Amino acid sequence: MGGRETSDETYVLDLCDEVLEEQGLRQHRFDWLLGDAGAAGRRTRLPVDSYWPGHKLVVEYREMQHDQPTPFFDKPGRLTVSGVERGEQRALYDARRDAGIPAHGLHLIVIRPADLDANSRGRLHRKDRTADLKAVRSLLAAARATVGSPQTSWASDEDRVVDAFRRWLVVEGWTPVAPTDPHTDIEAVRGAQRLVGEAKGRTTEAGIDADIAYGQLLRRMTRPSPDTRYALVVPSSSVFHALRVPTPVRSLLRISVYEVTDDGSVRMREA
């Protein structure tokens, strides 16, 4: 059986090298892309399939085990350092890549077997390299054309704020989960910690909306555990209004204010 050098992944990344006219850095590890802590408390850096610094581009080739249960790869019943089975951990780490790579100013392109000539098991036929090269060239061109383009698909600015915050959470090691209360905007866990968040977008009534959000958070405080914290997530234009509640009160209620800037960056605001 061949190793990584003869794998479908290597074949696809070689095609990308040819299209981009640059040798990608295979299995590159960024300092900011981290896995969960192991028994010793250390977090390893997660690899990406290939990184082209000159293009500020990362390509991930995701075979079928990334999108559907595969017992051979998932090892059911065997828990990982994340406390979940390997298949769930793979999905978590993929989500961390999906959020973290764009958040650090890089473009991510995910290629799957179905994008090329593959059989029902996801193995590439590799019968026509010219056709495969053309398909990869098209995938790279279509995806790279969106670099720097403004996001225009949000139904509301609140959706933009929620999406930016969710991506930031994943980068910070949180896992977004289905909210306990269906009216909650976002909920996430990290180890024993739980974060419950309410978000607001740009509005002509920023002060009133901030007050409403605080009321919504108060109604979510059904968990007495000190491991549960709360987040009020607002755009830059609403930070002043969100911070009108005094810091000691917010601290007592375990509420933190997070600002989402116009470019999608997120930061905690204390004052």
Instruction: Round to whole Å and give the CA distance between 62 and 157.
Output: 32
CATH 3.40.50 for domain 4-144? no
Q: Cβ distance 198 to 216 under 8 Å?
A: yes
CATH architecture designation of domain 157-269:
3-Layer(aba) Sandwich (3.40)
pLDDT over 50 (residue 151)? no
Residue 152: pLDDT band (50, 70, 90) is very low
Q: Cβ distance 235 to 201 under 8 Å?
A: yes
Q: Is the pTM of this model over 0.75?
A: no
Between 241 and 73, whose confidence is greater?
241
Question: What mean pLDDT comes out for the span 5-17?
Answer: 92
Instruction: Round to whole Å and give the CA distance between 54 and 75.
Output: 38
Q: Cβ distance 263 to 168 under 8 Å?
A: no
Rounded to the nearest 10°, the torsion over CA 203, 208, 209, 214 is: 160
Convert the pLDDT of each residue in 55-67 to its tens digit.
889 999 998 775 5
Convert the pLDDT of each residue in 225-236 to its tens digit.
889 999 999 999
Helix then strand count (H, E) for the chain reads 8, 10
Question: What mean pLDDT comes out for the span 173-183?
Answer: 84
Residue 127: pLDDT band (50, 70, 90) is very high
How do the domains of the chain map onto residue ranges? 4-144, 157-269
Distance spanning both ends of the chain, measured CA to CA: 59
